[in-house]
Amino acid sequence: MVYFAKKIEKKIIVSILFVCILFSGCVSQEKEDLVISGFAFDTTYTITLYQGGSKEVLDACVSKCSTYEKVFSRTLKNSELYQINEIEALYGKAVEQKKEYKEQWERKNVHYNENEIASIKEIIESEKSEKNEIEYELSKNGQITFQITEMMEEILRKGLEYSKESEGGFDITIEPVTSLWDFKSEKKEVPTKEAIEKALSYVDCEKISLQEGSLCFLMPGMGIDLGGIAKGFIADDLKKYLEEQGVKGGLINLGGNVLCVGEKEGGEPFYVGVQQPFAQRNQTVAVVAVQDISVVSSGIYERYFETEDGKLYHHIINPKTGYSYENDLLGVTILSEKSADGDGLSTTCFALGREKGIAYINSLEGVYAMFITKDEKLWYSDGFEEFIRKEESS
């Protein structure tokens, strides 16, 4: 079914504190105190507790967010992911610089001797950052293996699952490409065709292998980008912790990734707004009423820039082309039990497009989706409309 998007000019936003005050009426001082905000993993987060919990529980959540950053951050130099990507990039650089190594890879007949392994490691060790202490091994067949934490292994397995489900439209090894695009810089530049083509040669989720406690890259110069799934994974882990602490009702908002813990007092649902694309954050196309569920959106309006000729480039990059996806979609919103699923599915469905995306969601149990097309129509998977809060008469 299709509906035309309509701007709902009510001050309903995904900013959780405001949403809850708007729909819950007066909030006691005690309730106001059970809210905490911070900045981590490149976003502002807010955690609000309504039933159960304490300030100490919220403080522990802040500590956990710091831990997540030290595992998943692409930019924090002492994070596990940064260190893995740095060493892998330096290995690729060493192969590019040494003709004999490059020729071995081109012939697909790599066989390093001990001196060659020592030489490559010397290059890596001399150029890596001082904070890089990740453990790695370089084998005679040219494969590099990292010792990874249990948390990193868990998220990589989830990322690989969606990399395969999306038919290559979502790929966690896209980091060599995404590192070329800077949507935050004041100077907006499109990477050169040559740079993109070279980076694409390192993108292939089939060329990484996970064993218990280890990550192996089968080609030098690869990298991992967890931006399409990390916030969902983090939200799920925070929810698990809150439930273990006896929280019966709360909201986790990680920069728009919203995860409900239980329900509000009296069995009331949480109301979460889906943003109107390219509008202010307090303008919505729909408001969903949800309990104990995740609401995740991906859209071209989140991070983008326009060139002088009017061409728009956004942050959802196609792993097959190295450029922003070009389809008829403005955004996708996923309702699911797990936020990591919502994260992975929102990007996957954007990559699949509206028709394939809806068919894919309809094949899953307990997952619902809404697609916004460029003509401002809303398209729903089976069951999504049941969550929409009907607009009140004025």
Say whether both 338 and 383 belong to one domain: yes
User: What is the residue range of 363's domain?
Assistant: 2-73+229-387
Residues with Cβ within 8 Å of 180's Cβ and at least 6 positions away in sequence, in order, are 191, 195, 196, 199, 322
Considering only CA atoms, which of 223, 140, 217, 165 is closest in space to residue 348?
165
Under the banding of pLDDT at 50, 70 and 90, the label for residue 22 is very low
Kindly state whether residue 234 falls inside one of the protein's structural domains: yes
CATH number (domain holding residue 34): 3.10.520.10
Average pLDDT over residues 328-355: 94
Number of domains observed in the structure of the chain: 2
**345 and 249 share one domain:** yes
* Residue 244 sits in the same domain as residue 354: yes
Q: How confident is the model at residue 18 (pLDDT cuts 50, 70, 90)?
A: very low
pLDDT at 38 over 90: yes
Instruction: Report how far residue 383's alpha carbon sits from residue 362's, in angstroms, rounded to the nearest whole number.
Output: 9
Q: Is the pLDDT assigned to residue 82 strictly greater than 60?
A: yes
The proportion of the chain whose per-residue pLDDT surpasses 70, expressed as a percent, equals 90
Higher pLDDT, 30 or 17: 30
Query: What is the amino acid identity at position 246?
Result: G
Q: Say yes or no to pLDDT of 17 above 50.
A: no
Report the C-alpha dihedral over residues 15, 20, 21, 23, rounded to 10 degrees: 120
**Which of 349, 369, 371, 363 shows the shortest CA–CA distance to 167?**
349
Query: Last residue of a domain, which of 161, 184, 217?
Result: 217
Q: Is the pLDDT of residue 8 over 60?
A: no
User: Final residue of a domain: which of 197, 217, 237?
Assistant: 217
**DSSP 8-class letter at 388:** B
Chain segment 109-119, per-residue pLDDT in tens: 999 999 999 99
The pLDDT of residue 20 is above 50: no
From 190-194, 223-227, 275-279, 315-319, the region with the lowest mean pLDDT: 275-279
Asked if residue 111 and residue 45 are part of one domain, the reply reads no
Nearest alpha-carbon partner for 56 in 71, 34, 25: 34
Say what the pLDDT of residue 190 is: 95
Judgement on whether residues 359 and 308 belong to the same structural domain of the protein? yes
Give mean pLDDT, residues 48-72: 95
pLDDT score at 41:
84
Q: Is the pLDDT of residue 28 over 50?
A: no
Helices and strands: H and E segment counts in the chain: 12, 17
Q: Assign residue 162 the CATH number of its domain.
A: 1.10.3980.10
At 33 the pLDDT is 52
Residues 182-216 pLDDT 10s: 988 888 899 999 999 999 999 999 999 999 999 99
User: Does residue 392 form part of some domain?
Assistant: no
Structure tokens at 43: 């976003």
Identify whether 222 is part of a domain: no
| Confidence class for position 276, pLDDT limits 50, 70, 90 | confident
**Interacting residues of 153 by C-beta distance below 8 A, sequence separation 6+:** 210, 212, 213, 215
The reply to whether 394 falls in a domain is no
Residues 240 and 293 in one domain: yes
Q: 16 and 114, same structural domain? A: no
Question: Would residue 223 count as lying in a domain?
Answer: no
What's the confidence (pLDDT) of residue 266? 87
- On whether the CB atoms of residues 354 and 340 are closer than 8 A, the answer is no
Say whether both 67 and 124 belong to one domain: no
Query: What are the tens digits of pLDDT across the range 239-268?
Result: 999 999 999 999 999 987 999 999 998 889
The CA distance from 61 to 55, in Å, is 10
**Mean of pLDDT values over 165-178:** 89
Q: Is residue 150 part of a domain?
A: yes
Q: Would you state the pLDDT for residue 370?
A: 97
Query: Do 68 and 89 lie in a common domain?
Result: no
- 170, 285: one domain: no
Instruction: Tell me: do 11 and 92 sit in the same domain.
Output: no
Q: Is residue 224 part of a domain?
A: no
